[in-house]
Amino acid sequence: MALAVLTVGCGKDGKTGGDPDIVGEPAVPQIGVDPGDGSPVALPLDGYSVGAEESALIFRAMGQATRTCMAAKGFDYDPGPTPTRPPPTPIDASLLGLLSVSAAQQTGYHRPPRPGGNGTTGTGNPPGQSPEYRKALDGEIGTKAGAADRRADRGCTGEFDRRLQAEGIKDTASDLVGTLRGKAYDHAAVDSRVRSSLANWQSCMAELGYTYANPVQASSAAWPEQVSQEERDTAAADMNCKGQVKLLGTWNAVLTAYQQLYIGRNEQALQAVKETSQQRIAAAKMLLGQA
């Protein structure tokens, strides 16, 4: 998909991306230096979503509520460790390929090992529990009939949300932030300033003897499993060219402009989403005794 989007241009009517309501391209803030290795880039819509620490907090609260509910039904339940997220990457690797100078020099296009292992998203309970245990834990959503029904009884896994509903706190079924992020991304990917920077990257690589059409083509080439010096050299040239043409800084500035545009058009709805998230975080702290 990333390769395809790099070849998509503006339509004849001057509209960009996938939203027919946007015509033309917004002004961008001054393009600064590229982000450092592994540095997360703050974007405007981040202020309306739940961050990594808050997500972990809510996960722990959900586990505690589930454990209490299961204990009331006579079952022991271990929520397991809090899931770990992959290290942050500056901007977007699916469109721009490799983003780290140090990774290019050390492991080429191969992804470095994740610190602390791969993490976990499951619970500490082994599979093969009794049907009574599974029904207490999952309710109707554990069956084929109820799996796709959001209104189905979720058993003890839904205890945290039931507590929130009892307090008048809405659920988070709306994915407005994610939707707007996707629209902003679609526009930024075909923005003339990003496309110009990508073309400059291609020219820079060509001067060094590399004939890749875009960064994703370079990073997704058929590199052998064992990292070679050729791969490291190519990846290093890739990153040097990105820095020379300010590709990452341009992408960040353009994406910021489109996100700000969508925030201006959806401010009231986004504030409602933010308020709900803050209420959920506060409820999680209360349940964990951190309030």
Q: How far is it between the farthest Cα atoms of the chain?
A: 70
* Domain boundary assignment for the chain: 2-287
The pLDDT profile of the chain, 291 residues, written as one tens digit per residue, is: 344 444 444 443 444 555 666 668 999 877 877 776 656 678 899 998 887 788 888 888 888 889 999 999 889 888 877 666 554 444 456 678 888 888 888 989 887 655 444 444 444 455 557 888 888 888 876 555 544 555 567 789 888 888 888 888 876 656 899 899 999 999 999 999 999 999 999 999 999 999 999 999 999 899 999 999 999 999 999 999 999 999 999 999 999 999 999 999 999 999 998 998 888 888 888 888 875
Cα distance between residue 67 and residue 229, in whole Å: 51
Residues in the chain: 291
Which residues neighbour 170 within 8 Å (Cβ) at sequence distance 6 or greater?
Answer: 164, 276, 279
Contact indicator for 57, 7 with CB cutoff of 8 Å:
no
Tokens 């397991």 -> residue: 80
23: helix, coil or strand? strand
Burial of 168 (0-12, 13-18, 19+ CB in 10 A): exposed
pTM above 0.85, yes or no: no
Contact indicator for 265, 43 with CB cutoff of 8 Å:
no
